[in-house]
Amino acid sequence: MPFVLKIGSRPSALALAQAELMCARLSELLPGLRSEIVAISTSGDRMKSASLAQVGGKGLFVKELEQALADGRADIAVHSMKDLPAALGPAYRIAAVPAREDARDAIISRRGVGVREMPRGARLGTSSMRRRFMALRLNAGLEVVALRGNVDTRLSKVESGELDAIVVAVAGLKRLGRADRVPMRLIDESDFIPAAAQGALAIEALADRKAGGSAEIEAALSRLDDPRARAETAAERAFLATIGASCVTPVGVKATLDEHLLSIRAILFSLDGRRELFDETSVTHARGASESGASALGAKLGNQMLSRGAGELLADE
């Protein structure tokens, strides 16, 4: 029987679209590759209403996919990288970080206005504490309402008038083909620092063997890996690990690699949103372009913020 690469994915429309995208990219790199997507429901998918922070956080979207890798039901798993814990268990590795999609957030509103222009008392939907506090920094008159569900469910809340606006990741809208069909306004990163690894995908595999047991597939994953995305997300994830951020931490962090510099900036809020801490740093491209150099820069920023009192903001968790 010909080999079939088994690609693990969550069953949501967005996750499957991302897995299909990676399937297509791998087929371009390995013509004739046979693959199938294995949809695996995770604990997070089965919890429709509870706050993820209250019931286990990011690991809820990862554990079952990692188990599928361990028992051979999947050869690789495709994740939204922001769903991954800051450090993987020793049995697993990130085999590839494809080119990153737009990392920004977007507001979708009934009036087609931005966060600042929304009237007092307008209802803005998000369950992200980071987005909640950043929106209130721009417009203190908003009523921020908890919101879960897939992209279509969230959009329907605006269409029905239940909410005046929602804030979502641009990357998800683009991958679902919705970006040109909704009244979306991009939010500048200077106003809304994204979540760590927002817009990035991660292809996970077992640490002790080649993906799919194949040198050819491993080579294709290496070609799929994007050095810029790898460096930026390594810096962001190292920052989270250094400060000890958890799934409930209201934190935004974004690294940017260009031809001259790797820069990183972050904002951290207390759980009640009353206190915040911002900082940034950078390093030359030559030192920051490698994964180890990028991780060192993220750790440096984390330590800078810890020295300035980040631990006090985290202590309330």
Per-residue pLDDT, 180: 87
With a cut of 70, say whether residue 166 has pLDDT above it: yes
Q: What integer is the mean pLDDT of 266-288?
A: 94
* Active-site pick, 83, 105, 180, 258: 83
Q: What residue ranges do the domains of the chain occupy?
A: 5-98+200-225, 105-186, 231-314
Give yes or no for a contact between 217 and 30, defined as CB atoms under 8 angstroms apart: yes
With a cut of 60, say whether residue 102 has pLDDT above it: yes
pLDDT tens digits, 173-226: 999 999 888 889 999 999 899 999 999 999 999 999 999 999 999 999 999 999
Per-residue pLDDT, 50: 47
Per-residue pLDDT, 130: 97
For residue 83, indicate whether it is catalytic.
yes
With a cut of 90, say whether residue 39 has pLDDT above it: yes
Tell me if domain 5-98+200-225 and domain 105-186 are identical in fold.
Answer: yes
Q: How far apart are the first and last CA of the chain?
A: 52
The superfamily CATH assigns to domain 105-186 is Periplasmic binding protein-like II (3.40.190.10)
With a cut of 90, say whether residue 41 has pLDDT above it: no
Residue 155's alpha-carbon distances to 55, 75, 200, in angstroms, are 25, 34, 22
pTM of structure = 0.93
Top-tier CATH class for 231-314: alpha beta
Task: Please name which of 224, 299, 296, 288 lies closest in space to residue 266, comparing C-alpha atoms.
Answer: 299
pLDDT tens digits, 138-157: 999 999 999 988 888 899 99
Q: Does domain 5-98+200-225 have CATH number 3.40.190.10?
A: yes
With a cut of 50, say whether residue 1 has pLDDT above it: no
